[in-house]
Structure 1
Amino acid sequence: MILTRAELLPYKEGIYLWKYVPSLALSIIFLSIFGILSLAHTWRMFQHRLWFCLPFVVGGYLEATGCVGRVIARNDTSGLMPYIIQSIFLLVPPSLFAASIYMVLGRIIRGLGPRAVALSIIRPTWLTKVFVVGDISAFVIQAGGAGMTTSATQKDLGNTTVIVGLCVQIAFFGLFVLAAVIFDVRYRRGRDGFSAVDADTAQLRDGAVAARREPFDWAKLMMMLYATSALILVRCTFRIIEYIMGPEGYLLSNEWPLFVFDLTLMALVWPFSLSGILPRSSRFP
């Protein structure tokens, strides 16, 4: 039943989907933010043919859709569909953001040449495959768990499933960050002792490295990876704590933590990606 006035009503007799009435203003604000950013990235993705950014862009549209669910739920707290939409579509997008970030690191390493490839603890071709497969697994587990949380009989199982999915995501993301840091350190050390990419990249004169040109600003892209990774890891940690505390816990019983530790952090990922994941240089591989 759609109400003309915001009111907290039960889904069934004695069963409440919500612990509060969702904020219309905040939901619309974040709907606008994710909608505008997704459209901007879609345009840049097609402009530069950066198809590996597709998961990132899709994740943005899912975030916006999740906010739509909250807008609808404002006046329909007894409705199951708006609750399901916001539960699933706000939970899984970081997995899609991570998929594009994994592919960026592989392209950075390949773009810096064969000697850079040798410095990676995982070959770039396998790096993307391994982490994306892990990311897809986390995505499926979280989506399935979120769907079960709407069932009175499977709510506890759903919460546990979501926690498992988030832990899988953090585990793979942590390994990814470790691989990125190891490559970064090795490359920064090694580039002072050999021609990092090819003859156009560095010239050795009298045992010293002279003027060096690299095909793209790899250091800036690595900083982008670290920044976005930190934001996603903090957000996933928040979500784990949220589901461990359960539906009666403080985090799920109050709205502000979701906007501060999830939606705001995911919105902050986009400025980094706009300058990093979607670089203007056509030399980015």
Structure 2
Amino acid sequence: MEKPDLQLLYFTYRPKDVYPDVAIALYLLATVVLIVQIVRQKAQFWLYILPATAFAEALGYVFRELCVRKTTFTLYVLMTLFLLLPPNAMALVNYKTVGKIIEQSPARSRSFFLRSRFVNWFYFTSDILSIALQGAGGGLMTSRTNREHGKKIVLVGLAIQLFFFACFLVTSFYVWAKSSYSVAMSSSDSSPLWAKRKVLFTVVATTVLLYLRSIYRIIEFADGYGGTIYSAEWAFYAFDTLIIYLAFIVYMAVPLGSHFVRAKTMPTEGAEEAAPLQFPMEPKNY
């Protein structure tokens, strides 16, 4: 009995071998640039999530390139998971950024949903839930018998993600508009207002890009295995590969690390911690 063509079985088309190579090079470049920026800026360690995510994306395209050459079930599962899940970690960085702004600013909101602990807990939990559902559904979709169940689970995970992205954008715009919230200035900032605009622009722009990518993924999975969107290789590279890389370009062009540096301590024994970074208040009317 003739063995089935696994490439056509899983992809439903013949994927081209040049695109994964280009994606690998671009994402590895982003990994190196982000690491260099974070080290030079002495940024807080949670920002290393960004180069780790870029590296995970590169691995996803390594598995895709291997699948192009010889498709196997294991390689296809690894490719699916590494290309589906890592971008969710970028949302964690944005959640942490806004949580830090709220935590380090002089303003203290009476509303529980604008407290840093709630922002971190609420959005982190939503993202972990979304990652878990997408991972479980993506794994099930590699099985022909469980494909429909896997698709539904992934769609639920993506829908949850879209809802919380929308909530987070509302929170981000509120923090942006409220003059009582401020951001630490970097050496290149002309004013506290400019520093805040840079950081919140990065957060909002990348969140919108992640939102668009999630919409594409919902349409792809809703269209079904073998559907028009699923079978269009150009759509994957345009609405997933390119959109995610545009988000990394924003992170590299407007780095967050210079605004969230590690706390310094005095080198002498028994000395107290150096004074924390000062966050100048912005003018109230702008």
- Asked whether the two chains share a fold, i.e. TM above 0.5, the reply is yes
State the TM-score bracket (shorter-chain normalisation). Answer: 0.7 to 0.9
Give the C-alpha shift of residue 277 in structure 1: 4.4
Q: 1:226 to 1:49 in 2, by over 3 A?
A: closer
Determine helix, strand or coil for the equivalent of 2:192.
Answer: coil
Q: 1:213 to 1:255 in 2, by over 3 A?
A: closer
Q: 1:117 to 1:219 in 2, by over 3 A?
A: farther
- 80-89 vs 242-251, greater mean Cα deviation: 80-89
Is the aligned partner of 1:97 residue 2:90?
Answer: yes
Instruction: Tell me the residue number matched to 1:165.
Output: 157
Give the C-alpha shift of residue 278 in structure 1: 3.0
* 1:253 aligns with one of 209, 213, 231: 231
In 2, Cα distance between equivalents of 1:213 and 1:75: 53
Instruction: Tell me the residue number matched to 1:147.
Output: 139
Instruction: Tell me the residue number matched to 1:125.
Output: 117
Is the aligned partner of 1:54 residue 2:48?
Answer: yes
Contact map agreement 1:235 1:262 (CA 8 A) in 2 = yes
Cα deviation per residue 1:53-87 (whole Å; 9 max; x = unaligned)?
2332222111111101111111213x112211221
* 2:66 aligns with one of 50, 62, 72: 72
Structure 1 outlier segments of 4+, above 4 Å = 116-121, 281-285
In 1, Cα distance between equivalents of 2:195 and 2:108: 14
In 2, Cα distance between equivalents of 1:168 and 1:33: 30
Runs of 5+ in structure 1 lacking a partner? 1-7, 202-211
Instruction: Tell me the residue number matched to 2:241.
Output: 263
How do 1:91-240 residues align onto structure 2 when only pairs under 5 Å count?
Answer: 91-111=84-104, 113-115=105-107, 117=109, 121-185=113-177, 187-188=178-179, 214=192, 217-240=195-218
Give the C-alpha shift of residue 49 in structure 1: 3.5
Root mean square deviation, CA, Å: 2.6
**Identity in percent:** 22
- 219-228 vs 34-43, greater mean Cα deviation: 34-43
In 1, Cα distance between equivalents of 2:54 and 2:112: 30
In 2, Cα distance between equivalents of 1:120 and 1:61: 36
Give the C-alpha shift of residue 284 in structure 1: 9.1
In 1, Cα distance between equivalents of 2:118 and 2:146: 37
Instruction: Tell me the residue number matched to 1:209.
Output: none
Contact map agreement 1:108 1:218 (CA 8 A) in 2 = no
Give the C-alpha shift of residue 124 in structure 1: 1.2
TM-score if structure 2 supplies the norm length? 0.81
Instruction: Tell me the residue number matched to 1:3.
Output: none
Is the aligned partner of 1:31 residue 2:24?
Answer: yes
Instruction: Tell me the residue number matched to 1:41.
Output: 34
Contact map agreement 1:50 1:278 (CA 8 A) in 2 = no
Determine helix, strand or coil for the equivalent of 2:65.
Answer: helix
Contact map agreement 2:136 2:150 (CA 8 A) in 1 = yes
Instruction: Tell me the residue number matched to 2:222.
Output: 244
In 2, Cα distance between equivalents of 1:253 and 1:213: 49
Contact map agreement 1:121 1:182 (CA 8 A) in 2 = no
Runs of 5+ in structure 2 lacking a partner? 262-276, 280-286
- 268-277 vs 29-38, greater mean Cα deviation: 268-277
